[in-house]
Amino acid sequence: MFKIQDYYQADQVSYSMSSSGMKDKFESITFQYVPANKDANASLSFHLTNSEKRDIAAALNNSTNRVAFAKVINLSTLQMSKK
């Protein structure tokens, strides 16, 4: 399932880039959920327990996500300086 989802997302990004005419202005930033408990799986439900919500919030602080947040901040800073 995950490979199919990856291909679908890649296809959607490619389509968005080519159809918008903004290929050189399109930036893809990936956030990653890594559960604190290595034996835990990501919940596929929209109804998360409080424990799952805390785990997701904690995952936002992993090194991969910190780099992704820095990219978002950098892009928004660049965008604001152009105005």
Question: Domain range spanning residue 60?
Answer: 24-82
Residue 4 lies in a domain: no
Rounded CA separation 12/14 (Å): 5
In a domain, 60, yes or no: yes
Any domain includes 32: yes
31: Cβ contacts below 8 Å, ≥ 6 apart: 60, 64, 65, 68
Spatial distance between the Cα atoms of 68 and 64, rounded to a whole number of angstroms: 6
Residue owning tokens 């202005």: 25
In the chain, what is the straight-line distance between the N-terminal and C-terminal CA atoms, in Å? 42
User: In total, how many domains does the chain have?
Assistant: 1
Return the pLDDT at 4: 59
Q: Is residue 16 part of a domain?
A: no
Token pair for 32 = 């990653």
pLDDT by 10s per residue, the chain, length 83: 455 566 677 788 788 777 777 666 777 788 888 888 877 777 778 888 898 899 989 999 999 999 999 999 998 887 777 76
Residue 17, pLDDT score: 76
